[in-house]
Structure 1
């Protein structure tokens, strides 16, 4: 009951073809793939920008192994 049979998948595909047309489906799939790649890249960038990332810490802190951070002062 929870799994979809091949007949169900054919009905779903037929509905998509009727709604969007055969010419539009490849464009939609391509757009979805590009959006997924952009999202993955942005998520990767967010993880690199996290405060605990090793590249954000000063060299003295990276070498000593401590987690203390220096706060920049405004001049």
Structure 2
């Protein structure tokens, strides 16, 4: 399948302008842009919330994990000797 030619794209653009009107198209684009901006902002906030929640519970988990790793390394060293 070949990509649409310039003539076909112009016809599609003309149909869109006729359907929505010249004034409505910038409003639609603005709404789409602000929607994307809000979505990105929400994703960023969610990632920050997850990171801060992980940092809050990490100190106790880090100690437990380090203790488990130390005991595993000690037992591995004993088995090798």
- Give TM-score, length-normalised by structure 1: 0.64
Runs of at least 5 residues in structure 1 that lack an aligned partner in the other structure? 67-75
Which structure is higher in RCO with an 8 Å CA cutoff and minimum separation 6? 1
Q: Does 1:40 align with 2:47?
A: no
Instruction: Give the structure with the larger helix fraction.
Output: 2
- Number of residues paired by the alignment? 62
- Partners in 2 of 1:44 and 1:60 — Cα distance? 21
Deviation at 1:2, TM superposition (A): 3.7
Secondary structure of the corresponding residue to residue 25 of structure 1 = helix
Deviation at 1:4, TM superposition (A): 1.9
- Partners in 2 of 1:60 and 1:46 — Cα distance? 18
- Give TM-score, length-normalised by structure 2: 0.61
Runs of at least 5 residues in structure 2 that lack an aligned partner in the other structure? 66-81
- Partners in 2 of 1:60 and 1:19 — Cα distance? 56
